[in-house]
Amino acid sequence: MKKVRKRNVGKRVMPKSRNVRRAQPQERQQTKQQARQQTRQQAGPQVRRTKHRRKKLAKSKILLVPIIVILIACSFAYFAQKEVVSKPTKQIESDLKVETSQSNNRNVFTISPKDENVNIKKTIFYLHGGAYMAEMTKEHWEFIEKLVNDTNAKVIIPDYPLAPKYSYKEVFEMIEPLYEQTINEVGTSNLIMLGDSAGGGLALSLMEKLEKNARVPNKTILISPWLDVSMSNEAMKEVQKKDKNLNINTLKLAGKSYAKDIETTDYLVSPLYGDVSKLKYVTIFTGTNDILNPDVYELQKKAEEKNRNIEVKTYDGAAHNWIIEHKNNKELTEKGYKELVDMIK
């Protein structure tokens, strides 16, 4: 009888050669590689163009750096030769009484209500901002006009010398005798010192420069003051992300130009490092979106250590000089301005 082989019914018959199993993934890999190569060949010109654009952009950025440096240097050179002065707007000359006098060969503007019947009780000694390099802007003059109308105060504005042509020396040669003259004429009880940005820093430096028991204004009010021109507070770097108006490195350059032959940490240019025990009746308006904001708290801390009280009014989300400049939040501007006026009246 012939032997009948049993068939493996239902069982999978494995191929004798294992090469079949290995060939399939290899073929798929080869297919993928071919597809990639074909895609690269088709997209080749576009990829090359993209790479070329990136290289070109990188080169342009590298070239842009020295151009910016040159422009800044040219600006400094230009202002070093130019006599920069402030001048009242036609609007303020039309609406208010404007008198011009001289102090150390510089203009001093006295702005007051045009109506002779108005009873002027307060005198404001105002120092404007502008990084010690810029004159009063249109916004400054509009702020002053509104302030005079809303408070019936007289405002004295020294057009102090500006960097880089001048330094802190010439500034103090002008404002120090003018301050003494003003306080002799109006007394302390009705005198208010007001400064914004660089002008705020200048106001504090002036107070720290006075003799220990010298007469000081009834109030010193500062808006977004520049307290340290060295810009060395590390906390500024975090605030810089929110500050769209000021730049740390740009202000460092301006500060060095103003300080000239002294250290940028000298109290005459950076009142944060001065004798805070001389400070009295100081109120500071500051916004959290201002890179100068962290130094305000440093000053307040130093004052507390000397048993001096500095009142700080912090406005969350407010930018630098938001009370004066129109580009800031309107609601915050109106709120800050109203609080300022209430303090002056």
For 263-287, the DSSP string reads -TTSTTT-GGGS-GGG--SEEEEEE
Second-level CATH architecture of 90-344: 3-Layer(aba) Sandwich (3.40)
Specify the pLDDT at position 326: 78
What end-to-end distance do the CA atoms of the chain give, in Å?
A: 130
Q: Tell me if 80 sits within 8 A of 162, measured CB to CB.
A: no
Specify the pLDDT at position 65: 46
Strand 123-127 and strand 191-196: the pairing is: parallel
236-253: average pLDDT: 97
Q: Tell me if 229 sits within 8 A of 269, measured CB to CB.
A: yes
To 5 degrees, how large is the angle CA 215–CA 216–CA 221?
Answer: 175
pLDDT at 81 over 80: no
Residue boundaries of the structural domains of the chain: 47-82, 90-344
Tokens encoding 90: 């036609």
Q: Is the peptide bond before 271 cis (omega within 30 degrees of 0)?
A: no
Rounded to whole angstroms, how far apart are CA atoms 187 and 84? Answer: 31
CA distances to 31, 64, 79, 246, 318 from 67, rounded to whole Å, are 51, 5, 18, 20, 33
pLDDT at 23 over 60: no
pLDDT at 142 over 60: yes
* Phi and psi torsions of 46, nearest 5°: -65, -40
CB-based burial, 61-85: b 16+ in 10 Å, e otherwise = eeeeeeeeeeeeeeebeebeeeebe
* Average pLDDT over the chain, rounded to an integer: 87
54-81: average pLDDT: 54
Rounded to whole angstroms, how far apart are CA atoms 11 and 301? Answer: 87
Specify the pLDDT at position 327: 74
**Axis crossing angle, helix 168-186 with helix 198-209, rounded to the nearest 10:** 70
pLDDT at 52 over 70: no
pLDDT at 236 over 90: yes
Specify the pLDDT at position 46: 65
Which tens digits make up the pLDDT trace of 249-283?
999 999 999 999 999 999 999 999 999 999 999 99
Closest Cα partner for 316 from 289, 291, 294, 336? Answer: 289
Which tens digits make up the pLDDT trace of 289-322?
999 999 999 999 999 999 999 999 999 999 999 9
Highest mean predicted confidence (pLDDT) among 80-84, 116-120, 327-331: 116-120
Specify the pLDDT at position 126: 98
CB-based burial, 150-181: b 16+ in 10 Å, e otherwise = ebbbbbbbbbbbbbbbbbbebbbbbbeebbee
* Reported confidence tier of residue 213, pLDDT bands at 50, 70, 90: confident
Residue 100 neighbours by CB distance under 10 Å: 11
% pLDDT > 70, the chain:
77
| Burial (CB count within 10 angstroms: exposed 0-12, middle 13-18, buried 19+), residue 4 | exposed
pLDDT at 62 over 60: no
Residue with tokens 């004295």: 156
* Reported confidence tier of residue 212, pLDDT bands at 50, 70, 90: confident
